[in-house]
A and B are shown apart, each in its own frame.
Chain A
Amino acid sequence: MKKPSIKTCRRFLQVFIALAFVIIPYLNSYRINLFRGNFLCFHAAGLPLADPLAVLQVSVKNWYLSPKLLIGAGIVLSIAFALGTVFCSWICPYGLLSELVHGLSKKLLPKKFKGFVTKRKGFPIKIIIFGLGFLGFLLFSTTPVLNQLSMPAWYSRIFQFIFVQHHISLAILFVFSVLLVEFFARNRIWCRYVCPQAVLLVLAKLLNSRRLRVVYDKNKCIIKKGKSPCERACTLSLDPKTLNPSLETECTNCGDCIVACKKMGQALEYRFGLSTE
């Protein structure tokens, strides 16, 4: 049997997670509670998982560390430490929606239209937004207010509202309008420039120089000039051929470029450790 491609595996996991967070609140409404919670804090049959940023906010405001939350955030951060920000590309349901919308905009919008901000580096802007948001939180809020910027949390919360308390939240419009902006900008704006939840994951991955990453072998590459298939495949508009730190900060190890390169020269692959020179 043919081995399924990276992209097939990834889509399968993404759709599975996205469906799971619809089914879990539904089961919860019948009080089946083995799995419960949302993307801010999740209880998976005894195993606690938590959003590192939410835990950071709670810990800073209380000078207190709950062991459950520490374990939860620790698991999430250590996955990012070992495998990079795979949460964004393999798990996050908003990431899935955003990718699908990006694919649609590529198909439906006229080819000439390139989108608004394609070549800009995303991470510095994200750090600025994160810094301002966190400062605002420290000064003006006791509630972990940055949680309200978490798209996966909104995704799961919308279904919690619907099934547990039969309330259709207007937050659907919020998520939908961000997706609409991303559609017309042809750029995954929220994931690249805003999402503050990813910042801690990125910092965790940067601590580890031997993490999983996509490496590029110049000798195998058969594209000499022009826009290559790998660059076209990347939904975050990065170019896998120019290896530099800022690109690696933003890359979420989704593997789309590896799939695109498979038919060409197989110059890209996943590898642990330092990139080859």
Chain B
Amino acid sequence: MKKTVKLKTPLVNRIIKSLRAGDEVKLSGVIYTARDRAHKKLAGLLTANKTLPLDIKNAVIYYCGPTFCKGKLGSCGPTTASRMDNFLKPLAKAGLRATIGKGKRSYAVREIIKKHRGVYFVTYAGCAAYLSNFIKSYKAAAFPELGPEAIYEFNVVDFPLIVGIDAYGEDIYSDI
């Protein structure tokens, strides 16, 4: 039976284990944006044994490159998660618990999520104006030189998500 739950960050073990693929989640708390080039940088830092510019332990990463207008946050929908598949392993090892994006991910990602007791959420793709209503504040967190691909810290309230891959490796997209 699919359920709807309200959750707060940090997403600790007990919460993650209670989620099943297909559940609807309304997430409140702190999430970090990061997409292709930020991932390349984060993975590079981990390989070189350097400190990351954000606390990755139990963190949530949102695959998103938002828009801004005169200092105000604009549209902020998810980007294709599979482009970040190859970067998940080192980040999950460093403590990353959850990712938010759109679309189907690789079989390898399912295994990584299962091993590290993580979760992959999908959210409403192409609905970036709608999603902006759930983001209450933001601040720059790292890599400002990447422009729209910089890492931002979002403070979200009831951000709408669906569990895409759960901690048991179940995937809502396994049939398609």
Q: Do A and B bind each other?
A: no
